[in-house]
Structure 1
Amino acid sequence: MKYLLSILLVAMIATASFAQSPMRLAVAGLSHGHVGWAFNRSDKKDAVLVGVYEPNQELVDRFASKYKLDKKLFYSDLNKMLDETKPEAVSAFGPINEHITIVRACAPRKINVMVEKPLATTFADAKEIQSLALKNNIQVLTNYETSWYASNQYVNDLYTAGKLGEIRKVMVNDGHQGPKEIGVGKEFFEILTDPVKNGAGALTDFGCYGANLMTWLMKGERPISVTAVAHQNKPDIYKNVDDEASIVLQYPKAQCIIQASWNWTFARKDMEVYGTKGYAIAVDPTTIRERLQDKAPEEKKKIDPRPAPYTDPFSVLSDVVQGRLKLDKNDLYGLPVNVTVVEILEAARKSAKSGKTVTL
């Protein structure tokens, strides 16, 4: 009996130890402006960096110096890095149109992937990514800052609980003064202003937030039509892409207006949801304005931030990959919602170019 208990105790300790092992993480690309987050996590123990793929030697030298990284971590060949470092997950920080290349390399090797928003630049690529993920039983997550906003979760909870009634109108406003105006790095600027690498300008960069949030609120339902207007207010700076875009998503009984801009006076990411019983506005990550049926004046609330792991995308990735967290079917990070996001963005580009509404 004692022998059996000893075996069980050893097994339990081994299981607990395995569950706490940090996720083996590799980074693919260093040109995206948000990649620094991957190297600024010394306080977190849920992931260990095992490799970095980047063909641009100038970027490699810069990051190795800035973050005091061993040059042995760096590879100029993606497949070689994956085979030699054997990561559990890869986080992609390159051009959006290269996300498909990363997934094509990772999926057959059963390596999970997290990309920066949006999932892809074309609907065809998005569908292929989804097919590869399903075929190879891997996770492909899409990282959005607004997924971490407690305010957005609060508004969705109100709606799910029936307190807002049926959604009739949603307005999502996202953007800033412009990539050049806020001083993004040259490599990231080159991506954002390339219609192939980024898909479009502000329409892609910030239009994706509204498409992501609305598809989530609508529990995965696709709009019946997409109408968009895009414009260049600053063609001297943004020669090849739009810097201003408005997108209207029409549903059978609801409408969403997405305002994506590189012309806002100040940076903003907010959402307004109007239903048949009330409205709720996510002003910032932790501020709500709401007015519900039979409640007189509008109420303003300050709420707590989301708890861990929802404070760090790599913590969420680690928990999902290692089985501690299961995403909802229509999670903001998940494939079903984000494939639809790319479908919406592609329709918006077509609408803006043709001047006509695109029916899905």
Structure 2
Amino acid sequence: MKLSLLLRTALLSFAAFLGFSLSASGRQAPLKVALAGLSHDHVYLLMQHYKKGEVAIVGIVESDPVLVEKFKKTYHLADTLFYKDLSVLLRNRKPEVVMAFGPNVAHLSVVEACAPLHVNVMVEKPLATTVKDAERIVSLAKQHHIYVLTDYETSWYASNQAVYKQVSANEIGEVRKMVAHDGHQGPKEIGCSPQFLSWLTDPKKNGAGALFDFGCYGANLMTWLMNGSAPEAVYAVTRQIKPTIYPNVDDDATIVLDYPAATGIIEASWNWPYNIKDWEVFGKNGYLQAVDPDQLRARKNGEMNYTIEKLPAPAQPYRDYVAYVSAVVRGQLDPGNDLSSLQNNLIVVKILAAARQSAREGRKIYLK
């Protein structure tokens, strides 16, 4: 009995040394998370992980009393979990990661609070609203040796991962063109919460309208497929198709990315008749389309018809952001140039900022 206890203690200590966190059952313990903001509607996906016991919420920062009461009541959260200031929370709680679910413009302040205390951060896409903020985030992460990860829904699509693997294996030859379609009917039209809508349609808090909200997906995927290389130039056109609904921001954007041997086209909109997130890649010898999360459409040279493959769910930790973030912050995975990595997402912000400038000035913007 004593030998078994000693052995178990040794194993747990060794696992902790390696960066693993184990529960009493031997499974990985829930990820200890603090939430910076509740106004981004993607927080409700995180709360599903909480209900399943996959994350342990150690603290929440939110100043809106309506949201505070809503989350307390809906998810049976104790009053003691709630704070009005992130610095105060971090003095009292020890999360493995702070997840930011507030305005995009607030991402830098979250990192500024967390980095000196060596607390990792995850933000919802995009990383920042300006290149200056993004570069400051990168600098803080490097200085204090923390991870700052960016979450995109499309990172966990089996179809996107299959496209990347086939292109990397040279199955369709050199990439010539990429096209990403990302959008829906509009945030108000699909019923986004008032708190989310208030900053999503604010050009300073969001960065732009559909240009930032949906343009970031294509920029993220294309940077990944181009092995972390930025385009040489960016050209964009934005429109206000529904100015009475979205008077302060664009609601439709088309972005063209110039690479040395390829072209990327990003179509982002709040004006489509249905939700869409797909990705087409044209190679010298074939074509691939990530139709939706689990369908891959393909056609190779000499073939008369397309094939459509239904894909299984990705292997962990690439199935969802909780598993991925857990693996990274616990030392089991190096993000490298992954879709969530800082390296990738700094380039994404540079693309979006150049697209915003291009649309405003009506000219192509060359990246340094």
Report the TM range for the smaller structure's normalisation. Answer: over 0.9
Structure 2: how far apart are the matches of 1:101 and 1:42?
25
Deviation at 1:47, TM superposition (A): 2.6
Structure 1: how far apart are the matches of 2:269 and 2:12?
53
Aligned to 2:130: 122
May I ask how many residue pairs the two structures share in their alignment? 357
Q: Secondary structure at the match of 1:274?
A: strand
Structure 1: how far apart are the matches of 2:227 and 2:144?
25
1:72 lines up with 2:80 in the alignment = yes
State which of 137, 143, 168 in structure 2 corresponds to 1:160: 168
Alignment map for 1:92-103 (pairs within 5 Å): 92-103=100-111
Aligned to 1:25: 33
Aligned to 2:213: 205
1:345 lines up with 2:347 in the alignment = no
Aligned to 1:49: 57
Aligned to 1:59: 67
Q: Where does structure 1 lack aligned partners over 5 or more consecutive residues?
A: none
Q: Which amino acid aligns with 2:267?
A: Q
Structure 2: how far apart are the matches of 1:182 and 1:15?
49
State which of 99, 114, 129 in structure 2 corresponds to 1:106: 114
1:114-164 CA-to-partner distances (Å, cap 9, x unmatched) read 000000000111111011111111111100000000101111111100111
State which of 234, 259, 264 in structure 2 corresponds to 1:251: 259
State which of 292, 317, 329 in structure 2 corresponds to 1:309: 317
Structure 2: how far apart are the matches of 1:9 and 1:352?
61
Contact 1:96 1:118 in 2 (8 A): yes
Q: Secondary structure at the match of 1:270?
A: strand
Deviation at 1:12, TM superposition (A): 1.7
Change (3 A) 1:356 1:323: same
Deviation at 1:13, TM superposition (A): 4.0
Contact 1:46 1:318 in 2 (8 A): no
Q: Secondary structure at the match of 1:184?
A: coil
Q: Which amino acid aligns with 1:12?
A: L
1:77-111 CA-to-partner distances (Å, cap 9, x unmatched) read 11001110121110000000000000000000000
Structure 1: how far apart are the matches of 2:78 and 2:72?
7
1:87 lines up with 2:95 in the alignment = yes
State which of 330, 335, 346 in structure 1 corresponds to 2:337: 330
Q: Secondary structure at the match of 1:209?
A: helix
Q: Which amino acid aligns with 2:277?
A: K
Aligned to 1:172: 180
Change (3 A) 1:301 1:193: same
Q: Which amino acid aligns with 2:21?
A: A
Aligned to 1:38: 46
Aligned to 1:228: 236
Contact 1:23 1:322 in 2 (8 A): no
State which of 288, 291, 306 in structure 1 corresponds to 2:299: 291
Structure 1: how far apart are the matches of 2:175 and 2:207?
30
Q: Secondary structure at the match of 2:185?
A: coil
1:11 lines up with 2:10 in the alignment = yes
Q: Secondary structure at the match of 1:182?
A: coil
Q: Secondary structure at the match of 2:38?
A: coil
Aligned to 2:194: 186
Structure 1: how far apart are the matches of 2:155 and 2:110?
23
Structure 1: how far apart are the matches of 2:108 and 2:249?
22
Aligned to 1:217: 225
Q: Secondary structure at the match of 2:246?
A: coil
Deviation at 1:9, TM superposition (A): 5.6
Structure 1: how far apart are the matches of 2:8 and 2:111?
40
Contact 2:50 2:57 in 1 (8 A): no
Q: Secondary structure at the match of 1:180?
A: coil
Structure 1: how far apart are the matches of 2:359 and 2:118?
38
Structure 2: how far apart are the matches of 1:156 and 1:260?
21
Structure 2: how far apart are the matches of 1:262 and 1:146?
17
Q: Secondary structure at the match of 1:318?
A: helix
Deviation at 1:5, TM superposition (A): 10
Relative to the length of structure 2, the TM-score reads: 0.93
Deviation at 1:43, TM superposition (A): 5.7
Structure 2: how far apart are the matches of 1:77 and 1:349?
32
Q: Secondary structure at the match of 2:160?
A: helix
Q: Which moved more, 1:246-255 or 1:14-23?
A: 14-23
Q: Secondary structure at the match of 1:233?
A: coil
Structure 2: how far apart are the matches of 1:277 and 1:290?
11
RMSD of aligned alpha carbons: 1.7
Identity %: 51
Q: Secondary structure at the match of 1:230?
A: strand
